[in-house]
Structure 1
Amino acid sequence: MKGIGVSPGIVIGKVLLKEEKKIIIEKKDIINCEDEVKRYKVAMENSKSEIQDIYNNVLKSMGEKEATIFEAHLMILEDPEMLQQIEKKIQDDKVNAEWALKEISEMFIAMFDAMDNEYMKERAADIKDVTARLMKKLLNIEDVNFSQLANEVVIVARDLTPSDTSQIDKKKVLGFITEIGGRTSHSAIMARTLEIPAIVAVKDIASIVKNGDLIVFDGEEGLIYINPEEKIVKLYEEKKEEYNRYQKELDLLIGKESITTDGIKVELSANIGTPKDLESVLNNDGEGIGLYRSEFLYMDRTSAPTEQEQYEAYKEVAQKMKNKPVVIRTLDVGGDKELDYLNLPSEMNPFLGYRAIRVCLDKVDIFKTQLRAILRASAYGNIKIMFPMISSIEELRAAKAILEEVKNDLHKENIAFNEKLEVGIMIEIPAAAIISDLFAREVDFFSIGTNDLIQYTTAVDRMNEKISHLYNPFHPALLRLVKMVIDNAHKENKWVGMCGEVAGDPKLIPVLIGMGLDEFSMSPISILKARGIIRNISQEKMRDLAQQVVNLPTATEVEKFIEKNINLKN
């Protein structure tokens, strides 16, 4: 089988299937209510035991603050009022436990949700989480917890959500394969950040394999073998050794400068989602954080993180990077990143809708809380703020005005922050690229987000495997926009980075050097390979080649031209 290889590495391991089971709750008449109550109590005790284990593990690995949510879940399962009403419903109405749980939990959720109190609204979300877990116990639906795996596995799923990938224990997960996705889907990006080999867009793989099957794959080429012959296993064991040798050669570049043969120094930074990703950044000698995806702090929870929680996360990254640049992108949700507690609307075109800066400018309280946390953390390192999905000068000015309000509040409270903190925007919408000369007068830097810029420029949904062949980073229109943005920024003496996946593409790195890109931000696993390429090319020569590239008419011709004229050996 073959899919799209999105994160390199050779994998040989046993399948763990993430099965998608739809929860269907039917009302049934019960004769023996005592047995039904007993069944309900067993499910409840199992749920309590499971949550207690999770609480203990989170307390040990992440701390008391992160474990608080599970403590609240335990309290709900020990609340006599709700539990007695469920038992009473079973006995009085002679119905099955699932139906009683559904009816009573929905009543409590609606009651708490209607209260004009944020704390009580959070309890409604907690009840929803706990009862969903309890319902799965009653229906014998097993959820896989990727942070608590007993053995080494290869995950196979239709898809993995950002929450799924953020829980992955990289010591236990050898790699993963999904049926949908592309090089820029969030599961793919997280795989590279975690340095876990991965393949996406493998049709029907989740219905073909079963738990315990031996699976062998190459995360770069996208080749997959299910229960292969011994000779295939042996071949891939040799490939794995060869890959490990190559990684050791790259390690020799640690501590070396990212500088071209004609003396042009660039910055090789990393994209991260949480402070946990820093280990990989430091191991791969990242020179900064070019994209801190702050939305991961908001995921896998029932309410938005507090100012203090965010401040501590941002501060930790700033301090561990020891004054190297840390670019924090403000909350970027919507599109394929949903947060239940924000009640984002269902939309026909979510990628073109209510997301990113549009949400922040609407939910100002949430935006201000984040900006306060970032500013406070800026006193401990070289933090920069970046606004996502800016399409107009009006949006930028509105965001900056709110930032100034927050700064004034902190001044009044005598809270320290970096007064000279740089403010930039992501260039990921064609409109922003086209008027980048105007934006360059109002910001300190740009970071080009090619994942969405390709999508919006070519009108290709990057999550749609049917048209994935049209999503092409070598498209001349994209390359012309990139060059335009870099030129416009440099005219105003502003620096330009790139945090989309194109920044780590070995074929396009020389072209970007030729265009004058100042900073490349990529998955940590790509940094040393990129350094090897940069140290073997001349910017002056690449400048001429880049000019020829943007004048080519097709993506195919661009790619062939690069392969023919640029030596990519590192």
Structure 2
Amino acid sequence: ADITTPDWEPVMKIASAIVTNHGGRTCHAAIIARELGIPAVVGCHDATDAVPEGETVTVSCAGGDEGRVYTGALPFEIERTDLSDMPRPQTKVMLNLGNPDLAFATSFLPNDGVGLARLEFIINEYIQAHPLALLHPHKVKDVDDCVRIETLTHGYKDGASYFVQKLSEGVATIAAAFWPKPVVVRMSDFKTNEYATLLGGKWFEPEEANPMIGFRGAARYVHPAYAEGFALECQAMKRVRDEMGFTNVKLMIPFCRRVQEGEKVLQLMAEHGLKRGENQLEIYVMCEIPNNVIQIDAFAEIFDGFSIGSNDLTQLTLGVDRDSEIVANDFDERDEGVKRMIKMAVDGARRNQRHSGLCGQAPSDYPEMAEFLVEIGIDSMSLNPDTLLKTTQHILQVEQRLQQSKAAG
């Protein structure tokens, strides 16, 4: 494919590998492939033309930054690791997860919980329809979409009940698998072009030239165009915590541009029964916009913790479109400017006695970034399951070295 979008995820779930013409290391195809545990090679330019339909190929990501697609089925070896005596590092090592089907199997890996549970996979795979299309099916002008929505919601009181039940069951499955460890659930962070691919979505989404920095995250929640959809998300999370009893679920707000925007979101959540501090509820914010770092003291007054989204923070610090393969070489979390932003965020969180974590791609891909995060004293980092063991071992080595250096004076 040229690229993948959330509506591809049912197919990606059964694929053995993914190869795309466009995209960078943090594009949709790359992120979902890592979570599913399948190889992906992105930004190949002409893969759909170069690989004949029906051709057997071997897709390899063993080379690190450079992926390869080989003709034919090549032999490979499987490495197995004994986890029985692996010690736990002081730095909390958590997981990125969004697929409830993988939750229980993944929970057996040595971990300290889920640092990033994405709602997007559940919405796309289990719900399939745009929340506003479920609330207002009469506004969907496509007959086929109307029929499919009616089929999906058959047996439920209405579209709202369908959304709330499906979303809460998906999140509860993840929370149950990791109980009593913390599960940080990020509220929905689809971009407008991604929301539009959901059933009925095109009737409720504007067309944007650059959705990556457009109508997404916290801005959607407080805007009349999506407020009803966010209300459904809140109902689902309240059901998970209050009715099902999974108080290990913490909530997180993505792409919150301004402190005032954060205050509005928290007020709205409280109106929907999700008040910070009640029933042990903690609400984090993604620290992924330079303004989050610059005003971290102000954000710390209203949120319980920060999860540094290194993908977006790198994009916005360096001015690089992370979905573009043309400038992919300029997207680098190891840039000194990005590292300075991350350190400022960690220092600011510590100064305000708030949790600091990182849930981006950097420590999973680059051992030196995991080392950097340990050295600056981050509280936790959230990794993809396929890199958890290797990165945990590296963190243990770094912590041991730092302890030895401290003991030596």
TM category, shorter: 0.7 to 0.9
- Residue in 2 that maps onto 1:386: 252
Whichever residue aligns with residue 88 of structure 2, its letter is S
Shift of the alpha carbon at 1:477?
1.0
- Residue in 1 that maps onto 2:129: 302
Cα distance in 2 for residues equivalent to 1:454 and 1:335: 21
1:151-300 aligned within 5 A: 157-170=1-14, 173-221=15-63, 222-227=66-71, 236-237=74-75, 240-241=76-77, 244-245=78-79, 248-249=80-81, 252-253=82-83, 256-259=86-89, 265-299=90-124
Structure 1 stretches lacking a partner, 5+ long:
1-156, 260-264, 411-416, 545-570
Shift of the alpha carbon at 1:539?
6.7
Shift of the alpha carbon at 1:320?
1.6
Whichever residue aligns with residue 530 of structure 1, its letter is T
Shift of the alpha carbon at 1:280?
4.7
Q: Percent identity?
A: 28
The structure showing larger relative contact order (alpha-carbon pairs under 8 Å, at least 6 residues apart) is 2
| Equivalent residues of 1:514, 1:542 under 8 A apart | no
Q: Please state if 1:509 is matched with 2:339.
A: no
| Equivalent residues of 1:514, 1:539 under 8 A apart | no
Cα distance in 1 for residues equivalent to 2:4 and 2:105: 21
Q: 1:526 to 1:218 in 2, by over 3 A?
A: same
Q: 1:166 to 1:498 in 2, by over 3 A?
A: farther
Cα distance in 1 for residues equivalent to 2:323 and 2:54: 29
| Equivalent residues of 1:280, 1:524 under 8 A apart | no
For 2:267, what is the secondary structure of its paired residue?
helix
- Residue in 1 that maps onto 2:269: 403
- Residue in 2 that maps onto 1:537: 398
Cα distance in 1 for residues equivalent to 2:251 and 2:235: 11
1:518-533 aligned within 5 A: 518-533=379-394
For 1:276, what is the secondary structure of its paired residue?
helix
Cα distance in 1 for residues equivalent to 2:217 and 2:404: 34
| Equivalent residues of 1:193, 1:277 under 8 A apart | no
Cα distance in 2 for residues equivalent to 1:295 and 1:258: 30
For 1:400, what is the secondary structure of its paired residue?
helix
Q: Please state if 1:351 is matched with 2:212.
A: yes
| Equivalent residues of 2:247, 2:280 under 8 A apart | no
For 1:386, what is the secondary structure of its paired residue?
strand
Equivalenced residue count is 360
Q: Please state if 1:373 is matched with 2:236.
A: yes
Q: Residue by residue, what CA displacement relative to the aligned partner does 1:239-275 show, whole Å, maximum 9, x if unpaired?
A: x21xx12xx13xx23563331xxxxx12211112231
Shift of the alpha carbon at 1:283?
4.2
| Equivalent residues of 1:331, 1:360 under 8 A apart | no
| Equivalent residues of 1:177, 1:200 under 8 A apart | yes
- Residue in 2 that maps onto 1:34: none
Shift of the alpha carbon at 1:404?
1.2
Shift of the alpha carbon at 1:441?
2.2
- Residue in 1 that maps onto 2:158: none
Shift of the alpha carbon at 1:293?
1.0
Q: 1:219 to 1:211 in 2, by over 3 A?
A: same
Cα distance in 2 for residues equivalent to 1:448 and 1:511: 14
| Equivalent residues of 1:450, 1:501 under 8 A apart | yes
Cα distance in 2 for residues equivalent to 1:360 and 1:189: 24
1:30-109 aligned within 5 A: none
Whichever residue aligns with residue 168 of structure 1, its letter is M
Q: Residue by residue, what CA displacement relative to the aligned partner does 1:325-382 show, whole Å, maximum 9, x if unpaired?
A: 1111111121552335342211122222111211111122221221121122122240
Shift of the alpha carbon at 1:319?
1.4
Q: Please state if 1:326 is matched with 2:168.
A: no
Cα distance in 2 for residues equivalent to 1:436 and 1:185: 27
Highest Rg: 1 or 2? 1
Whichever residue aligns with residue 186 of structure 2, its letter is R
1:3-42 aligned within 5 A: none
Cα distance in 2 for residues equivalent to 1:187 and 1:225: 16
Cα distance in 2 for residues equivalent to 1:336 and 1:488: 34
- Residue in 2 that maps onto 1:498: 358
Cα distance in 2 for residues equivalent to 1:337 and 1:518: 32
Q: 1:423 to 1:179 in 2, by over 3 A?
A: same
| Equivalent residues of 2:9, 2:124 under 8 A apart | no
Q: 1:523 to 1:498 in 2, by over 3 A?
A: same
1:90-169 aligned within 5 A: 157-169=1-13
Cα distance in 1 for residues equivalent to 2:345 and 2:188: 23
Cα distance in 2 for residues equivalent to 1:428 and 1:309: 29
Cα distance in 2 for residues equivalent to 1:257 and 1:495: 23
Cα distance in 1 for residues equivalent to 2:69 and 2:189: 37
| Equivalent residues of 1:191, 1:198 under 8 A apart | yes
Cα distance in 2 for residues equivalent to 1:184 and 1:357: 21
Whichever residue aligns with residue 281 of structure 1, its letter is T
| Equivalent residues of 2:283, 2:305 under 8 A apart | yes
| Equivalent residues of 1:428, 1:453 under 8 A apart | yes
Q: Residue by residue, what CA displacement relative to the aligned partner does 1:171-212 show, whole Å, maximum 9, x if unpaired?
A: xx3222111111111111111111101111112010111123
Shift of the alpha carbon at 1:216?
2.6
| Equivalent residues of 2:21, 2:42 under 8 A apart | yes
Q: Please state if 1:338 is matched with 2:195.
A: yes
| Equivalent residues of 1:437, 1:485 under 8 A apart | no
| Equivalent residues of 1:184, 1:501 under 8 A apart | yes
| Equivalent residues of 1:424, 1:444 under 8 A apart | yes
- Higher helix proportion: 1
Q: 1:539 to 1:227 in 2, by over 3 A?
A: closer
